[in-house]
Structure 1
Amino acid sequence: MKINVLTLFPDMFTPLTTSMLGRGLEDGKWELNLVNFRDFTTDFHHHVDDTPYGGGAGMVLQIMPIKKALDSLEDQGKVIITAPQGRTFNQERAQSWSQEENLTFICGHYEGFDQRIYDLADEVVSIGDYVLTGGELPTMSMVDATVRLVPGILGNAASPVDESFARGLLEYPQYTRPEDFAGMKVPQVLLSGNHQKIAQWRHKEALRVTYLQRPDLLASYELTKEEELMLAEIKEEEQA
């Protein structure tokens, strides 16, 4: 997979070159191509923005340098703009994007984009109902969520399957040594060696965490008969 990012601040993307994603870069599992669209301006001062027609506060990014930067790419793939008015990014979209060979992100700044820039994009995506100073941080979050699903990036192939949102529920609690820390003990079922009971406990606890922390997720989650019974038990246990 190759990720292109059009940005005025390419130095901000250092975090994507560290940890597991960094090792994936070194191993050639994915590529990161940072393009400063200020390099595609033609005036002496390299302006990328201008005042909006009709008046108003702030500066608006111009279409010309961004269009030229896009045209310079050999493989654009799906073109994505990060903006508050976009559809909210989620795990399902990350999974879909991870199947693409090429993705191109356009990071905004200042007061926003010339509206014609949106016509260059395939998708407009947001990470939440709040406003940041630019599109770099949202882009990094979405690249991280997407690239980590590319085969070979994570050491344990089962990891993306069991984690939060992968199956519509939050992730179950996890524990490691020591077995007893200051009286806080690991649930006995996890020490039993009974893999069927462990799987059942994890499923139920994932349902419990989702019910307690993000009940909104259950509104669109289709419960099986077994899960309906589990959820009824959880509600009784939590009310006790």
Structure 2
Amino acid sequence: MPTVDIFIPCFVDQLYPTTALNMVKVLEKVGVTVNYNPAQTCCGQPAYNAGYHDQSRAVAEKFLADFAAPPATAGPRYVVSPSASCVGMVRNSYSELFAGTPQQAACRGVQGRVYELTEFLVDVLGVAAVPGARLAGKYTYHDSCSALRECGIRPQPRQLLDAVEGLERIEMAETTTCCGFGGTFAVKFEAISVAMAQQKVEHALDTGADYLVSTDVSCLMHLESYIKREKLPLKCLHVADVLASGW
């Protein structure tokens, strides 16, 4: 099994640290050696999405330095994150930020090694199920925009979640529709953002599911805020939290 460098995004680090710990727990469960660089900060996505590309590039340059593969690495040194949103930023937007710059080659090197947790487990390691994972109840799955459209992630989380003992999947209507978060979109267009969250949550409730699961805590934070405000019987969980349950 390989050694991986984990990237813990801002949202996870500041608001959902348990999800980060659960990702490490899952990776170690399947035999991966985990390395954490405490100097890491942000991928630069907030500034990039707000239009501040120069500032974003400065942050992204640090990301490339923080996750440069050690010279003596035997075989690929993967970078794994519990956020498809950040992975999508590195894989796609970095190409624009570093086009024609001295960092372009380093950028391509990192882009080829960065993975979201579930796609790394399924596509790279060939993991079909996390041993010992158990959670009783029904779940419905939200495809985040970044996971689906930027990274092509759809079957991987479902495969792993469906293998969790006691858990049953019920697909909701319009599962690929945006939840309405979108970073600064939720601030600039609050009414639209809340209405989109309401629609997403209503579709999830229609399934009778106990849990709403996704690869991105940013989406889940947005949806959970609406759920709590309305006192609705639905719990949001990151896929890493589900896979780390029961053992």
TM-score, normalised on structure 2? 0.30
Structure number, greater radius of gyration: 1
Which structure has more helix as a fraction of its residues? 2
Query: Could you tell me the TM-score, scaled by structure 1's length?
Result: 0.30
